[in-house]
């Protein structure tokens, strides 16, 4: 299965979803959201970072806009034990596997089927031992736009027990360009999973109080460098809310138990950005709904194992709208 730079640029398909207040461009490569524009103050604001040319996604730098998996985040030692058998994962770093490996889901060119300008369905068959994981898995992701709200409905059906943990990895910038340090972030989460120096989850939870991950009350995302996982408290309200000085607001709902927060502290200039944007530190904010990181190696964490009788399903909704127009 060709991945990344081995995929001819001409084989990358682009689908444009459109409502009366927003437009979203979705690529077949990695299910990437290339561009998302929201009507605001008589114009359009691009609210995610992206590359001007779809071919720019072939390098896969920084997982920009992609859906990452089979298992997002870091798996310690690039291996895990399942039912007494050790599985060694494909990885460029022996300390961990990141975002499903160098040939993971974000590096694959998915089959697409458009439902007009309302939605696009993306499917992929991942064979047994893909990136070292046990089991063949059929993935299906539907990305749909309704008004201001973009919905990810992500399903996976494995033929045997295997870990699955997906996340969409957009870099949000509600101002359209420039730093996001003054974006105000609130997350409905009272605990987090502390990391070691290699950003691998250590295997326990701790209260966010007194840490840089205490976003129970809204505060600027530029107050500290952020790249960590918050355990969500649950409930019917938004899991996360972001407001920007221009009056745009992001609200996110998800059925996932956790959310990775990354304020692009390591993002460096690369590629050809969308017009007017730059790919630099603190120019994007990632909010990645996910299961518990490194769960295959931490028995105390809720399991991310799926099987033919317990398939994977994630539903995440992201609404970006002027505060006065939000629903």
264-292 confidence digits (pLDDT tens): 999 999 999 999 999 999 999 999 999 99
How many distinct structural domains can be found in the chain?
1
Q: Is the pLDDT of residue 132 over 60?
A: yes
Tokens of 207: 């209260």
Label residue 242 by pLDDT band (50, 70, 90): very high
Q: Which pLDDT score, from 0 to 100, does residue 170 have?
A: 99
DSSP annotation of 306: E
Label residue 326 by pLDDT band (50, 70, 90): low
Torsion over CA of 139, 297, 291 and 72, rounded to 10 degrees?
Answer: -50
Question: Tens digit of pLDDT for each residue in 14-46?
Answer: 999 999 999 999 999 999 999 999 999 999 999
- Burial (CB < 10 A; 0-12, 13-18, 19+), residue 250, is buried
Q: Is the pLDDT of residue 191 over 60?
A: yes
CATH number of the CATH domain containing 105: 2.70.98.10
pTM for the full model?
0.96
Give the domain range for residue 268. 4-325
Q: Which pLDDT score, from 0 to 100, does residue 1 have?
A: 65
């Amino acid at each position: 299965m060709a991945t990344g730079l081995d995929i001819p640029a001409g084989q990358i398909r682009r689908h444009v979803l459109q409502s009366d207040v927003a437009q979203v461009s979705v690529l077949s490569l990695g299910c990437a959201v290339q561009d998302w524009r929201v009507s605001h103050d008589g114009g359009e604001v691009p609210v995610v970072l992206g590359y001007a040319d779809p071919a720019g996604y072939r390098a896969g730098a920084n997982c920009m806009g992609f859906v990452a998996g089979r298992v997002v985040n870091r798996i310690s030692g690039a291996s895990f034990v399942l039912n007494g058998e050790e599985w060694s994962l494909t990885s460029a770093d022996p300390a961990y596997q990141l975002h499903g490996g160098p040939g993971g889901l974000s590096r694959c060119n998915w089959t697409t089927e458009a439902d007009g300008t309302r939605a696009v369905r993306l499917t992929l068959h991942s064979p047994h031992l893909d990136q070292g994981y046990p089991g063949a898995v059929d993935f299906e992701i539907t990305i749909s736009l309704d008004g201001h709200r973009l919905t990810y409905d992500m399903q996976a059906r494995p033929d045997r027990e295997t870990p699955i943990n997906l996340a969409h990895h957009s870099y949000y910038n509600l101002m359209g360009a420039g730093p996001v340090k003054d974006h105000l972030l609130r997350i409905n989460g009272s605990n987090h999973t502390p990391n070691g120096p290699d950003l691998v989850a250590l295997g326990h939870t701790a209260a966010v109080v007194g840490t840089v991950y205490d976003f129970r009350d809204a505060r600027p995302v530029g107050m500290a460098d952020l790249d960590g996982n918050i355990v969500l408290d649950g409930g019917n309200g938004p899991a996360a809310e972001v407001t920007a000085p221009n009056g745009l607001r992001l609200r996110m709902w998800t059925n996932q138990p956790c959310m990775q927060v990354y304020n692009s502290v390591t993002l460096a200039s690369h590629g050809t950005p969308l017009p007017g944007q730059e790919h630099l530190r603190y120019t994007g904010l990632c909010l990645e709904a996910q299961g518990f990181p490194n769960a295959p190696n931490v028995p105390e964490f809720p399991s991310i194992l799926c099987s033919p009788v317990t398939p994977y399903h994630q539903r995440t909704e992201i609404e970006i709208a002027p505060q006065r127009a939000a629903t």
